Structures are given as structure tokens and as C-alpha cells.
Chains A and B, each alone.
Chain A
Amino acid sequence: MFTRDFVGGVATIAIGAVYLYFSYQLRTSALDDSMGPGGLPRIYGWLLVALGSILIMQAALASRTTAVVTASGEEAKGEWEGQGRKVVYAFGLLAIGIAYLFILETFGYLISIALLITTTALYLGAGFSGRLIAIGIGGAVFLYAMFVAILGVRMPAGILAVLGL
């Protein structure tokens, strides 16, 4: 049965192992102090692996003591089950953010941010309407005015460079 602690423990060990691998690749030189650049990172890595193992053990102990069996004898679902859908929804939003980064230089800030606001609102459940378009454009103009005109931040102009934006 997958519990949050079990999944967290496995993820922790995986992160610790990757970090340890790279910490052992760190170069040392004759000028280093006794601990060297890899000293503490290695300690952190091993600590993470150890703590991840403890978390898994805690999860195993907890699931053994609180194993719930339904009246029909069917085992209760793990608390981690059904989370996949949530991850997919969240990653949809992340994909929109990444797409924004890819179009930013080409389309320029004004167009990209308008598309970002519109697409994100649409993705999060706002229906397609004139209001959505108006908020996308209005929001973009507001942010452009705030960052570029007031704060003087140099945002990519992209295809609007010809207009001096």
C-alpha cells in the first residue's frame, strides 16, 4: 500500500543517491582544506539516504499497525492512490509556463503574457468568452505598463520590435 511517507522516503533516497554520485565526482586539489569541497555534500547525501530509509521504515510500521480492512475483506486504498490525476493537472499548468518561456523571445513580452493569462485562465476553468480575451489583453497591458513603463525592466520585444514596444 503506497502511503505519502513511503513515496516520500523512496523519492528522498533517490535524490540522495543522485546527489551523492555527483558529490563524489567533485575534484579535489592540493590547496583544499582537510574537508574539501565534497566533505559536507557527502555528509548531506548520506544523511538524506539514511533519513529516507527511516521514513520508509516508519511508513511500513504505520501501515502494519493501521492496516484497514473493509467489511468485505477488501483492503483499503493507499493514501497516495488517486494523486496521479492531481499531478497531471498541475503539470498542465507547468507546461503552460514552459511554453511561455519558449515563445517569450519570439513573440515578445506583451503578446506572450497576454497568451499566458488567457491560456492559464482557460485551463483553470474560465469559459471561453469575450471577458476572457478582455482580461488577457487588459492584464498584459497592465503588466507591460508596470514592468516596462514604470519599473524600466527590459522585456523582450519580439515581433513587436518594429513598433518600438
Chain B
Amino acid sequence: METILHAASFLLDWHILLAALAGVTWGIMGGALPGISPSITMALLLPFTYTMDPTAAIVLLASTYVGAEYGGSVPAILIRTPGTNAAAATVIDGYEMNKQGKAGLALGISLYSGFIGSMFGLIMLIALSGPLALVALNFTPMAYFALGILGLSVIATLSGENLVKGFIAAILGLMIATVGSDPVTGGTRFTFGSSELLGGIEPVMIMVGLFAMSELLMQASKRGSDERVRSRPRIQFPDFKLAKRLIPSQMIGNGIGTFEGVMPGAGGTIASFMSYNEARRWSRHPEEFGKGSPEGIAAPETANNTVAGTALVPLLSFGIPGSNSTAILLGGFLIHGIVPGPMLFQRSGEVVHGLYAGLFTATIGMVIMGILMLPVCIWLVNRPRPYLNAFILALILSGIYSIHNETFDVGLMMAAGVLGFFMRMLRFPFLPTVLGLVLGYLVESNFRRSLVLSGDDYMIFVDDRISLSLLVLAFLFIGGSIAKRLYDTFVRKPETITES
């Protein structure tokens, strides 16, 4: 209750309100552009958050995530092209409704379900994050090291088609994290005489490069779709009777979205498809699915918007980003010197409460901006890709330069873009690299500090109970994933869903 009252006080802060509305607006526009995922939409904003108040910066990024999850459904319904991966399930019935002349109602159901999902996700975030963080208050260097390993173990579920590629991607991130000053002795490593590298490589450069720049390079390497929006629909919300019919599918979306969001690595895409499947299974009208069923839109849209809230639980409580978007959000925290995890609620409680208030505002704002921004989204979707991509490139290069007024940073970001381009081509997942990058320092510094404390006795990691529990959990996580993959390979037909 105290948390809610404290968070409510931020609702009067115009910085927070403005950041939430700006974020959700930017998110809806970014999400509506096919090929621009929520993480890319967020990454484009990262350079701008440097000079902002930390709470407003985090609210801006988190609200972008909320907005993008809805925005992705706009092209999914209008041109059968999901703006985001999580909106892929919405295409099935959304586009069918569009063909039946019900595009406005389909968009209304998506927006209404997104609102329900976001609000439920926020409630679950508030209910789960604080208590989980309390557990982690007594952390020692050994426990922090084990926490880093647990975070890295998420790679096992994020590796897409090939676990080995996931581990390679993670080690690349860990390697990038070793550039700069040594965390124990302070000596320099891999700086090659460059003064710009002395402080290490800032995650923002790598994230913008990996996510946004590499996407532009990919788009330059192939021809995009020229599909246009033919109609100009107006959003139409479901009436009472239809809203009542949607409740079961929304509850399914809420439940699956909560579970998948809290589980690192699962993400909105899996939640959407699972919710769609379960909604069809439990529906009174399963025969309508695939032919323009309103429940077929409500379930996945509720699920992916629930995930936008619950995916923040492992990030805030343990500092573990479970998806690309939360990894970008972690980057936003790190820019301001705030480390999410056990101590976040103690040291930066105002940021957490501001975030809750911002997410609440963003959820309300999503409904308003969702209606107001629809014509803009349609206009954007209809823009020729060459102009749009040229403008995005200009925005990225300007944004990165503006951080330190250094062309070196822009070069570094472009190098990360090239790395990301080849990773995409060779089908290596990104998120393990980002995880390695952001957890590298935590793992190395606490590992070596623990060894100094114990006089090089490795048993210290087993003697510390929290460390032992986290390490066991990490090994179970990795072992379980390997066992599942072996089972899928040798017993069942392979079936993987990857989130890019």
C-alpha cells in the first residue's frame, strides 16, 4: 500500500507524465513500422536519455515498450505485416476482420485488450518485484557472482535454433565487457592506446549498433515490402456484449503473459502464440478462429501487453533482462549509474516508484494516443522505406554523436552494427551478447573479489548459501534447456520459436 501511495505521488510530476506520454507515442509509431521492433524503437531513444532526469529517462523507455507492443498490431491488422514479433499472432484474425470491413473494430479490440494487459501487467509488477528484491538484500560478492551466472544461464533459453551459437554470442558480450579498466587492479585491457576506451565500452553504443544499425544494414541488403494501407479506418471499441465475450480470452492472455514475462527468455512472442492457442482451445466459438475471431485478437494482444509489465520483474528484482527490450531498459538504467537488482529498491526507490507511476500513465496514455496516432501510424506505414530508413540512419548517427560529441562513438556503434549484421546473417542471437556485455563486469569483479576474500578457495561459492542456491538454479536452467533440446532433437520433431 505504501508503495502504491508513494508511486501515486509521482502522478503529479509533469516530468514523469510527459515522459510517459512521449514514450508511449514514440512506441506506438515505432511499433507500427514493420521491421522496427520494440527494442529498436527503445534503442533509438537511448542516446537522448543521457541528459534526462533518471526517473523520467526510465519511464520514457518503459513507456515506449508499452506503446510498441500495441503499435505492432496496427500493420498486423491493416497490411498483414506484424510491426513486432509479438503481434504475429494478431495477424491471423486481425487481417481477416480487416478483409471483412471490420478493421476499426479489430484495432479497437487490440487497443482495449492491450490496455487490460498493460494494467494487469503493472499490478503484477508491483506485487512481485518488491518482495522478490527483499530476498536478495543479503547478497555477498559470491552471491552477486552467482546471480551473474544465473543471468547468463538465461542464454540457454534465448539461443534460438542452436545453443552453441547462444554461448558464442554471450562470450562475445563478455569479451566486449573486458575492454577498459580491470575491475580489481585498475590496469588497462584491450584499449590499444585509445583514450576513448579507457572507461570501457558503454552498452548503449553496442545496443544501438546491434539492434538498430544492423537492422538498417539488413534492410539495405534486401528489398522491402511495398504493401500500402488502402483504407482509413477509425478505431471502434467493442460494445458491452462483445467486451463480455472477450473476458475469458483476456484472462488467458493475462495468465500466460504473467508467467512468460516473469520467466526470463520467454517473451511476448511466445506468450502471444500460446494465448492464441489456449483461447481457441477454451473458446465457445473455436470454429471462428482464423476467420476473424475477436477473441483471436484479444488473447495475444492482452498477453504481449501483460508481458511488457511482468518482463520487468526479473530486471528490477535481480538485474536480469529477460528480453531484448528489457536489456535496452537495463542499458537506460546503467547510463544513469543505476544498477537494477537487489539494492535498487533501497538505493533508488524513487526511480522504481516513478516507473510504476509512469507505466500507469503510459497505459492510460496508450488508449488516448492509440486513437489519436492511428492516422499518423497509417501515414508512416505508407512512407517509402528508402526515406524512412535514411531518416532513421540520420537519427542514429546524430543521437550517438550527441552523447559525448565524439565521432569515435559513432564509429564504435557502426562496428557493433557490422557485428550485428553478420550475427543476423549467420543466425546468431543478439540477446546473449547484450547479457554478456551488461553482466560481464558483475561476474568478473565479484568472482575475483570472492577469490581474494577466500584466499583462492573456490569452495566459498558453495559455502555461501545464497550463492549455492543461485548456482544450482543456473545449472538446472542450463541442464533443463539442454535436456529439452536433446528430447526435441531425438524424440520429438524440432519446433522452435525465436524472438529477435
Contact = CB atoms under 8 A, between A and B. Distances in A.
B425 interface: yes
B220 A123 contact: yes
Interface stretch (A45-53, A64-72, A157-165): A45-53
Contacts of B417: 94
A7 B215 CA distance: 21
Interface string B409-425: 01100100110011001
A124 B220 contact: yes
Interface stretch (B6-14, B131-139, B316-324, B380-388): B380-388
B390 A116 contact: yes
A9 to B, nearest CB: 9
Interface of A: 4-5, 7-8, 11-12, 15, 19, 22, 26-27, 29, 31-41, 44-45, 47-48, 51-52, 54-55, 58, 83, 85-87, 89-90, 92-94, 96-98, 100-101, 104-105, 109, 113, 116-118, 120-126, 135, 139-140, 143, 147, 151, 153-155
A8 B159 CA distance: 14
21 contacts: A19-B175, A26-B187, A26-B189, A33-B184, A35-B447, A40-B174, A41-B175, A41-B189, A51-B168, A89-B221, A90-B217, A94-B418, A97-B410, A121-B386, A124-B219, A124-B385, A126-B384, A135-B390, A153-B405, A155-B401, A155-B402
B399 to A, nearest CB: 8
Contact of A143 (B385, B398, B451): B398
Given A93-B393, A117-B391, A51 B427 contact: no
B428 interface: yes
A117 B427 CA distance: 29
Interface in B169-202: 171-172, 174-175, 178, 182, 184-185, 187, 189-190
Closest 6 CB pairs of A and B: A124-B386, A86-B221, A120-B390, A126-B386, A121-B390, A93-B220
A140 B418 CA distance: 25
A51 B167 contact: yes
B421 to A, nearest CB: 6
B398 A147 contact: yes
Contact of A51 (B164, B411, B421): B164
Contact of B452 (A15, A33, A86, A117): A33
Given A33-B452, A58-B162, A89 B402 contact: no
Which of A8, A27, A96 is packed against the most chain B CB atoms within 10 Å? A8
Interface string B362-381: 00000000000000000000
Interface residues of B, number: 59
B428 A8 contact: yes
B213 to A, nearest CB: 8
- Chain B interface, >50% SS class: helix
A65 B18 CA distance: 58
B385 A86 contact: no
B345 to A, nearest CB: 30
A116 B390 CA distance: 8
Contact of B394 (A19, A22, A143): A143
Contacts of B348: none
Contacts of B187: 26-27, 29, 37
A124 B185 contact: no
A35 B402 contact: no
Given A97-B397, A104-B407, A151-B51, 13 more contacts: A11-B426, A34-B456, A35-B451, A44-B174, A48-B171, A86-B221, A89-B220, A120-B390, A121-B390, A125-B385, A126-B384, A147-B398, A155-B402
